[in-house]
Amino acid sequence: MTDVDPQISTTATPEGSDTDLRGAVLVAAIPGQSPRVMLEGAHFARLMQAPLVIVHVDVTRFVTYEDPDGYVHSSPVDINVASGAAELTAVRLAAHTTLDPKGIAWELRQLVGDPAIALKNLAQQLDAKLLVVGTRDRGIGESIREFFTGSVAARLAHRQHRPILVVPLGTVAADDEDLWPQD
């Protein structure tokens, strides 16, 4: 196996115009996520004969304004902006490792801000056919975050009209298990 430079892709489609990506299947990706999410997205992209776009949302940055030509200006929430670049590199490497050996063409996009709103806007811009998201671990920290902000999948379901595929990850909760423990 050869080393893959995460900055260069051999089978990923080159960043082109959004016209080339109309009707795409969008896969929301985060570092350390199960490869199953990308593979499910690739499966549905093939079935729908649609381009596959892997999307990472940098939540450490927010949109400050958007030019009339669509260029988005962003600012960091924190002075350390390296974390967003490192996460994008990790997602790119995961896509290379998961999709390239299977000969699956893909494009990577990085967005900034709230994941649900950023994904909704890109889906609208590309007239996406499907959004694919994974679930997160059910730890107490994740439960608290989800209590206050809601899951990305639920927020997407209420903010746009496209179908959403939620790929379950991790251990499955028992029917009688409390998903949001109080202690």
What's at 152, amino acid-wise?
A: V
CB contact at 8 A, 26 and 128: yes
Domain range summary for the chain, segments of one domain joined by +:
21-167
Query: Which helix (H) or strand (E) element contains residue 94?
Result: helix 82-99
58-112 pLDDT per residue, tens: 887 665 556 566 555 455 555 555 567 889 999 999 999 999 999 999 999 998 8
Tell me the whole-structure pTM to 2 decimals: 0.73
What is the Cα–Cα distance from 101 to 4, expressed in whole angstroms? Answer: 11
Choice among 15-24, 49-58, 159-168, 170-179 with the minimum mean pLDDT? 170-179
Which CATH architecture describes the domain 21-167? 3-Layer(aba) Sandwich (3.40)
10-26 pLDDT per residue, tens: 334 445 567 799 999 99
* pLDDT at position 143: 43
Closest CA to 53 of 3, 116, 125: 125
